[in-house]
Structure 1
């Protein structure tokens, strides 16, 4: 069995969640001995599509014509497309129709979480669908005190450190992040993520150019380098309003960063308040939870330990087994 892992615009998406998800799929399949290719000219038995552009539609039609089963990974939803980049809200209704058309044409759907799965089902799509986490590589992501000290020293950080990671979209809560920082000048705030300024609305571009004095936007840094900030932070703050999962949350869990995130439906069944994270509904609660973690070492240790347990449950070796099972099931159905 050979699987075509398809994702278009690899350069464009390489710094996004979809790009990282593709890398995770490759690693997960390697761990369980499933042969794959990313070259559509190769021979393959199953297609696993990750994107929704014209290239993906072409591959979908080509596979259907050749009677090759298609699995569609529903990373993209109408809900998480909105409030992202310039004109995203205007495009979103059109996108939803396209998602329904593409996803409905597959043989099987994969969603990153139960929440995302239920969103797709709410579109009226009646296909077999399973929730499979994007996963995290715990062999790569683990707490590293040496990299933590290096990051703090190189950036001359002497105050408590608050870190977030992601594209600086309004949906991700970047405005809230800066508003919290303005009120907490006793803390240092770092937001890591590609700035892609040409795609961002003017108010976000202005924010990135003139952030509060205690906020830094270093831009995108490779995964191997982000381990330092994850390991060094006193709090990983994730104020996103909408996610299909949040790969950076998995990375933060794996590196044992104490997490404060927004109380949104995607986290209802696997991120538990007071167990592996703290949840907040508004900026006031975010600040209260930050203070709780800064002043309660036993709570920090508890969240870190439980969080690592959650990350281990979503290790790529486990995700690889789940993907392999789906591929074999879809192939068997097709026969």
Structure 2
């Protein structure tokens, strides 16, 4: 097994899709007898385990929970075969520096288009457009140094390839779901703890409440449905969502941040998971919901066009088509038992173990 060092700008105790992927891949890689060190921004409330190396960092004022680590390489990181960057930014540059210094294969995971962060830096359209162009140019430069770029879906591969050209080798490796954790579970305790026992039909979403995710479309689509909308998570758009809920008179409950241990019960409580975000590179929460037997209604855009199998694990609607969103929710609710069975039939194919098999193939290829 190869010895790998991963550089990431987000890691424990922060919980998000990138952290989950890095942690779950590392656990499986170690279990297979390999080595995967992690270099990440330090945090006061997390004690590193063996092979985890915190780098001095500063809070990033434009993005809550994100810390800006210095692009350094810890002295303890040595004798590695492959450098794997999960970010094009600060610590990703540290990984690139190590790879070039030691003449090592450099692999990059493409989790989020860097241009999407422009909206966190300014609200002025002209400045935002300028930042986006600079971000895309920088992204092409950074990815151009990679022996392989790893993306979580075919849709993301096709989009990225069209922007960076054929000289960049792009490989699809799904992030994968821990199917031992994410499975159908009893929901009585969860529903009672969050005052949901009075709701007969539940639809909802969990994750970051970002403006780019179009979550207000959920409120608009649910207006008039005989269902309760449940939001897990938090973020800058939450206040706007709550105000829209009051204005529409929609029965919506905001649960706030949920511990990861609660997520299987959250997904299992839902009759349909609603996902209007057009900016996902895979949409890991959609796969987590499916692994719990919950179908997904999502926008036909970005990676969700592939992540959701039409009529099998859920249904799509066109971006901005609120009536179409409502119709897709209604259809899903009318077929929920059949969709649930089809979701569960696909659990094995979405597992982390399957993802790490694909990751190992990428590592083997760049080491040849």
Q: TM-score range by the shorter chain?
A: 0.7 to 0.9
What does residue 285 of structure 1 align with? 324
- Structure 1 position 138, deviation (Å): 0.4
After TM superposition, what 4+ stretches of structure 1 lie above 4 angstroms from structure 2? none
Tell me the SS of whatever aligns to 2:254. strand
Pick from 343, 350, 353 the counterpart of residue 307 of structure 1: 343
Tell me the SS of whatever aligns to 2:19. helix
Q: Is the 8 A contact 1:15 1:194 kept in 2?
A: no
Tell me the SS of whatever aligns to 1:96. helix
After TM superposition, the score normalised by the length of structure 2 is: 0.79
Q: Is the 8 A contact 1:276 1:302 kept in 2?
A: no
Tell me the SS of whatever aligns to 2:174. coil
- Structure 1 position 312, deviation (Å): 1.6
Q: Is the 8 A contact 2:282 2:307 kept in 1?
A: no
Residues 199-254 of structure 1: CA deviation (Å, up to 9, x unaligned): x6xxx643346743522332221221111110111111111122110110110011
CA RMSD between the two structures: 2.3
1: CA distance between counterparts of 2:350 and 2:29?
Answer: 14
Question: Is 1:323 aligned to 2:359, yes or no?
Answer: yes
Tell me the SS of whatever aligns to 1:167. coil
Q: Is the 8 A contact 1:230 1:255 kept in 2?
A: yes
After TM superposition, the score normalised by the length of structure 1 is: 0.87
- Structure 1 position 96, deviation (Å): 1.1
Tell me the SS of whatever aligns to 2:164. coil
2: CA distance between counterparts of 1:190 and 1:262?
Answer: 18
Q: Point out the more displaced range, 212-221 or 257-266.
A: 212-221
- Structure 1 position 76, deviation (Å): 2.0
Tell me the SS of whatever aligns to 2:208. coil
Pick from 248, 251, 257 the counterpart of residue 220 of structure 1: 257
Pick from 285, 292, 305 the counterpart of residue 248 of structure 1: 285
What does residue 61 of structure 2 align with? none
2: CA distance between counterparts of 1:286 and 1:42?
Answer: 49
Where structure 2 has 5 or more consecutive residues not aligned to the other structure, the ranges are 39-52, 54-73
Where structure 1 has 5 or more consecutive residues not aligned to the other structure, the ranges are none
What does residue 42 of structure 1 align with? 77
Q: Point out the more displaced range, 229-238 or 218-227.
A: 218-227
Question: Any residues of structure 2 matched to 1:1-335 within 5 Å, and which?
Answer: 1-10=2-11, 14-38=14-38, 39=53, 40=74, 41-43=76-78, 44-77=80-113, 81=116, 85=120, 87=122, 90=128, 91-125=131-165, 126-145=167-186, 148-157=187-196, 158-159=198-199, 160-184=201-225, 186-195=226-235, 197=236, 205-208=239-242, 211-212=245-246, 214-281=251-318, 282-294=321-333, 296=334, 299-332=335-368
Q: Is the alpha carbon distance of 1:83 and 1:191 closer, same or farther for their aligned partners in structure 2, counting shifts above 3 Å?
A: farther
